Amino acid sequence: MNLPKDSNMALSERKQTHMDRGVVIRDAWPGYPLDLFTFPEHYLGDLECVYIPHGIIMDRTERLARNIMDDLGDHDIVVLCVLKGGYQFCADLVERIEVLCCNSSKTLPMRVDFIRLKSYLNDQSTQDLRIEGAENLPVLSGKNVLIVEAIVDTGKTMKTLLDHVKAFGPKIIKVAR
């Protein structure tokens, strides 16, 4: 598989097929009733319904892992996990990729690094992005990079991060969110 020198297409921006569209939740969706699920008792007064069951989230995470394997299988990658929110998603995604590697002829050697982004001062958004863990980013030079982030709001922070990561000269940058 020949990989383009500078591909910045996010995995979520891939050409979508009917199998890749994901789960659509309409604004009027009432959610699933709580009696269908078990959850810690101390949440009882705070929950009204469940919008997305854990199983659906894990199925989508596995689908994303398969997409990553299709795109990058047999090429070393550096997984750059954006803390704190991205930790569990990243752990689940890396685990699914490892399972797929065990059950296929493709391999995806991975190194996982962590960074933390700070663009808020108290409760106010600022123009400045502080990256904790940036001292490890020179390792990205010439590598295939997969940035794993849980939530992308306006996209400003992600754009700034992508520009910062590009400065280290990675071969490919992809974003899983």
Q: Which residues are catalytic?
A: 153
Query: 3-class SS at 138?
Result: helix
At 55, list the tokens.
Answer: 């199983």
Rg (CA), the chain: 18
How is residue 21 annotated by DSSP? S
**Alpha helices, DSSP H only, in the chain?**
54-72, 87-102, 156-166
Q: Which residues contact 69 (CB under 8 A, 6 or more apart)?
A: 97, 100, 101, 104, 106, 108
Interatomic CA distance for residues 160 and 5, integer angstroms: 20
Q: Which residues contact 39 (CB under 8 A, 6 or more apart)?
A: 47
